[in-house]
Structure 1
Amino acid sequence: MKLRNKLVRISKVLSMFFVIFLQIYWYKFRRKPKDEWENLWGKIGERFRKTLFELEGLLIKIGQILSTRGELLPKAFIRQIEDLTDKVPPSNWSDIQEILEAEWGKSLNQHFLSIIGSCFYCTKFSHQQSQLTMQKGQGYLSGI
């Protein structure tokens, strides 16, 4: 993850939502016309998407779920976050390997004969596909 410090992550999320709240309140207070509201929701969606790409992890999953709920949010917002389902960059293999080894308590080489840790492709909802070959010689793709 790019931002590991929990306080930094929390402050980024809270500041983003605080700014969004202020913008919406200001537009309501000023009684802005509908076309300006569409522009506002587009800007909010863009800021939301950039923040989620920066923070990664569970927040991207939340954004992906929201992007499929077009009946709940304005279209301009949905257009900005639609690429969270298809254009999420793959995670760094060394980070994934570190987490797996910590969880399993052993080196990955003790579980697999070979590992191709680079991402073959990232599917919808950002499952990262990597090729692993088991100790018994069976190969398969793993979704991480």
Structure 2
Amino acid sequence: YVRLVRPKLDPSWMYDESFWVAELSIIWQSEVKRKSLMPEWVETVIDLDLLGGHGLVDEEEELVIQVFDWHRMPPHDVIGTQRISIGSLLHGEGKSLSLSNTVKKGGRAGLVVITKATVVNTSELKHHGAKLRADVEDASSPA
């Protein structure tokens, strides 16, 4: 499964972003795709209020995409993570993001492909109630 999270930690502290689990920092989480090495998710609508609050979006703010291998009994294995600015996410249609994994040899852990990202119901990003529609495909290579 995939999560989009907002970093909530002190930037001066050294940390591994694959272990961020604070419920308040999770913006969106996909459903679990079982028994698939190349999962695809249906189009998802994320309210921009979740990204910026009251419709105000800072396109330079960084978010983290986390990809997990789900197990019936936690903990779930981290496949990889990638930082992305809100602006890059909003304008990232067709963008492939390389996942990194600090535990895996070589650090590379496959790709997440943003196949579609559009703002709907508004002509401005700062309009209250605007939504981001995103279609994400995981192109991770098997571990």
Taking structure 1 as the reference length, what is the TM-score of the superposition?
0.29
Higher helix proportion (structure 1 or 2) = 1
Identify the structure with bigger relative contact order (alpha carbons < 8 Å, sequence gap 6+). Answer: 2
Identify, as 1 or 2, the structure richer in strand.
2
For normalisation by structure 2, the TM-score amounts to: 0.30
